A and B are shown apart, each in its own frame.
Chain A
């Protein structure tokens, strides 16, 4: 069967179950395409030989009762995988081979999926363009020398470029939704507490969430169903009744109330984004939903709050990388010298910058002025959403303030890079679920995304709205295979 890699996850599962395709054929097809796609630099670690062996083993004794029977997939290199190098895109973890498995990936393998390899990302997930990775830039399959977004840039590039049928990323301030938007793919950031953080390299613990990335909403729903479980190993994992997201998926959103927040109309936003948003509003109306103008008055304070809270938590989380127990170690004259050189040589520029910001805002004399202040504003931001959800069922916004930009375009100005996450960061601060779906193209032909934000634990609702909109939008990603010669 030709064009295996063009098939959706749902089609692949169907074809494997009906024995039209073997797991070996499917796995081989994705490996072949990945081999031809080195230019994208989507992988940090390939595990192709082992993947093929696992596929052959599956075919010899297939179990079709699982949700991802015989499906190969690559995952972001922020998830610890037993006996497979896990780097978090950093030199400091360049030689780290975990002896345990993250809960989210364990759930995936338990449902019959097969690991293809580990995907590139910004160092410790700190970045919006995948340019901070120690392992180099990732190319966006949409166009040459275009960033795929970040931090889950390798994941987004691999899904859009059909190197993997689905993948998982992590989202601390937009790291799933922004790259999904930049590559014309679907990305869901679940409610905080929905997916276990156990075994995920920590960045900012009160914000980090794992989530699915896929070619379409249904695939995304199915993967969410697999990865979202209550886990006693993560004290912030929440024990709530989870839906069978893919089975319960419905395009009936008649009578749903969708909020349109006026504060997301920011200065300097390109007209194309504004037009896309208006188009989105029309689409939900066409589906029988009602739109209501709402206000989220503290939106403009979300990014400054995030740039206190996230670095503060990061500076604490990253204190463990000291060259003693694992990871890279530099030579030093004494213990302190060894620590300082290890961290100076092992961390990249952006990570060092954020550790420094975090250390400063937590340091003696500044805690109240910065960290405590940020926690209070975070409360106001959450209150805005609580207030809005008294009137609406979900909120519709653009995913990003622009389409994908060129590699190198924003690397010298950290603040302009941070502004990429202006529409996604408030969702993390409030712990809510948000999904980005491709909704159109700009004048250059680059994809643009719309974001649907839900109430806490209301993933089913935003998946349904996304599903209904997807039908109306009928988006076609423009992938020319420019990197394959």
Chain B
């Protein structure tokens, strides 16, 4: 298998990470060597194996749906990259 530049562009778009031409080439090389290494898994027949989704063999606990944190708006917006007391500000979305 080989990951080409077109695939890198596609993954970069899905990941929302902009990548220029030079980085894309380097990434293609790195990812190909990593996937060559990963291909080893194909040696194993796993048709009848159940996938492991959690190592903790417990069922999730239920809890009452209660409000525990009140009046923390200030705390929530405190780390906002663009200052505003009430909202998160982003570049204009609607024309």
A residues engaging B (CB < 8 A)?
A: 95-97, 99-100, 192-193, 206, 232, 235-236, 238-239, 298, 300-301, 303-305, 307-308, 315, 322-329, 332-341, 343-344, 347, 352-353, 355-357, 359-360, 363, 370, 372-380, 382, 413-415, 418, 429-431, 456
Contacts and interface: CB of A to CB of B under 8 A. Distances in A.
Given A192-B55, A372-B51, A373-B46, A325 B80 contact: yes
Interface residues of B, number: 51
Nearest to A319: B16
Given A99-B78, A356-B31, A360-B11, A340 B17 contact: yes
Main secondary structure of the interface of A (DSSP, over half): helix
B75 interface: yes
A99 B69 CA distance: 12
20 contacts: A99-B76, A100-B75, A232-B63, A239-B61, A301-B44, A304-B39, A324-B81, A325-B79, A326-B80, A334-B92, A335-B90, A335-B93, A336-B16, A337-B91, A339-B16, A347-B17, A376-B46, A379-B52, A382-B55, A414-B30
A376 B49 contact: yes
Given A192-B55, A373-B42, 9 more contacts: A322-B16, A338-B91, A352-B17, A353-B27, A375-B52, A379-B51, A382-B52, A414-B30, A415-B33
Contacts of A95: 79
Contact of B41 (A96, A304, A324, A325): A304
B55 A431 contact: yes
A343 B7 CA distance: 19
Contacts of B80: 325-326
A429 B51 CA distance: 12
B56 A238 contact: yes
A380 B49 CA distance: 8
Nearest to B89: A324
B70 interface: no
B34 A327 contact: no
Given A99-B72, A335-B93, A373-B41, A325 B54 contact: no
Given A353-B31, A415-B33, A374 B81 contact: no
B40 A335 contact: no
B2 interface: no
CB-based closest 7 A-B pairs: A431-B55, A375-B51, A326-B79, A329-B81, A99-B75, A379-B52, A340-B18
Interface in B20-48: 27, 30-31, 33-34, 37-44, 46
Contacts of A340: 16-18
A280 B50 CA distance: 36
Given A305-B41, A325-B79, A431-B55, A379 B15 contact: no
A355 B15 contact: yes
A359 B27 CA distance: 14
A206 B91 contact: no
Contacts of A232: 61, 63
A360 B31 contact: yes
A325 B88 contact: yes
A344 B16 CA distance: 8
A355 B12 CA distance: 9
B67 interface: no
B79 A344 contact: no
